[in-house]
Chains A and B, each alone.
Chain A
């Protein structure tokens, strides 16, 4: 059977295909409006065909769409829109009201010039595909990727950067300073007698102390500072644009902040203190680990000198 000998079959396909199909003349009058368009717009062909598209649908982005369609007439060329850049042309409801989280049906369109026998264009045909499912899947994937990215960068217990990410950021800052100049400091701090907290009050109490200390410090540092858990009860704060004197001030502020208020765990107030070591990157340092080594040595001295203090 040759479909071309059965025009009613072609008509049926155009009308019932599960994609939107409509056609416009140069004056933007609707020439064709298939069932998909009627069902989703709530306006049947009889109320749209012969009328101006923008009068029927005043919500359409008129200036842009007219330019796009006139480009198809002029260039005799295909044109496209994708849901990724422009989520929809028509405000059609979509079939996923429960699982969607998306306002209107996401649409990808193709604009085809309809050539007449003389090679001129007398109409533009538009096909509109429902991309809502793809958009939802894409969104879920993006969300999952963001979670994975975050969990690969953050410490599971405290939520601050983990050691890998901390070192990455420190090395970025270190090499930026080596190239462009400017100061860079590092404060390393450690919770005093943390083992005792674990031994006396249990590991859950220890975990809570780590969480609370990290949260207090995170709230106190500047947005440009980088806080991370270096390991165990040891944390680092990378301080871009900060000289040693400034780093000492920051360290002193953090020490004071922690010592001034006990950590409460199950109605028990635990007096917690921290010891800090501060160091500034210098011209003779060629690798970022040297900065960690110097801050660590200063921290060690702070411990030796009686804890709850800052050394540099």
Chain B
């Protein structure tokens, strides 16, 4: 769905920026973890805020329980990034990130918060750096545990009408670990993003 304010041209520009950012992020994550990683081509969509739970449900399969971590970011543009994890492959990744010993639930949470932070930072940092914006981040926190994907976000708690979704699938080339990064921008930030994209396009 395109809107008069955020048209196909903006979308294409954002897609371009996001593709470059994910390429860089993938290389950095591979270096950090010492293993090959796959980041999908970002999928960009503007939707009604009330549709977000359905979109997440379709993305991950509405029968699958997920753990979700949220992290807010802010500069001139603010929003929230949500990382959704399935059950598989987490212990493997924990080892790659230097975690040691028993894989208890507190540690599992810490690993997921850590991965979410790394993913969000690598992906968002790349996007916004190209737009000339330096982001600040809040500490990541758990949004939901063992919850069906379409119930992670409650639409009653959204106080805006439209949302920009940028979705990336991150997985390790070997092993079962896979997660989805979803970036949500509320309306006023979509407007600011559009301005930043226009400025960038003007300088090309």
Contacts and interface: CB of A to CB of B under 8 A. Distances in A.
Interface of A: 61, 63-68, 70-71, 74-82, 84-86, 108, 110
Question: Which of A75, A82, A86, A108: most chain B Cβ within 10 A?
Answer: A75
B28 interface: yes
A71 B141 CA distance: 19
Nearest to B122: A75
14 contacts: A61-B100, A64-B99, A67-B32, A68-B98, A71-B118, A74-B28, A75-B32, A75-B121, A78-B121, A82-B139, A85-B107, A85-B109, A86-B106, A110-B139
A84 B100 CA distance: 18
Interface residues of B, number: 24
Given A80-B139, A85-B107, A74 B121 contact: no
Given A75-B125, A76-B125, A67 B97 contact: yes
Contacts of B110: 81-82, 85-86
Interface string B109-150: 110011001100110010000000000110111000000000
A112 to B, nearest CB: 10
Nearest to B71: A80
A82 B113 contact: yes
Main secondary structure of the interface of B (DSSP, over half): helix
Contacts of A82: 110, 113, 139, 141
A67 B121 contact: no
B198 interface: no
Given A75-B118, A75-B125, A85 B113 contact: yes
A160 B125 CA distance: 55
B125 A64 contact: no
B39 to A, nearest CB: 14
Closest 3 CB pairs of A and B: A77-B121, A67-B98, A85-B110
B80 to A, nearest CB: 15
Contacts of A74: 28, 31-32
Given A67-B98, A77-B117, A84-B106, 13 more contacts: A63-B98, A68-B114, A74-B28, A75-B28, A75-B29, A75-B32, A77-B122, A77-B125, A78-B136, A79-B117, A79-B121, A81-B110, A85-B107
B38 to A, nearest CB: 18
Contacts of B117: 77-80
Nearest to A61: B100
Interface in B56-104: 97-100
A70 B32 contact: yes
A82 B109 CA distance: 11
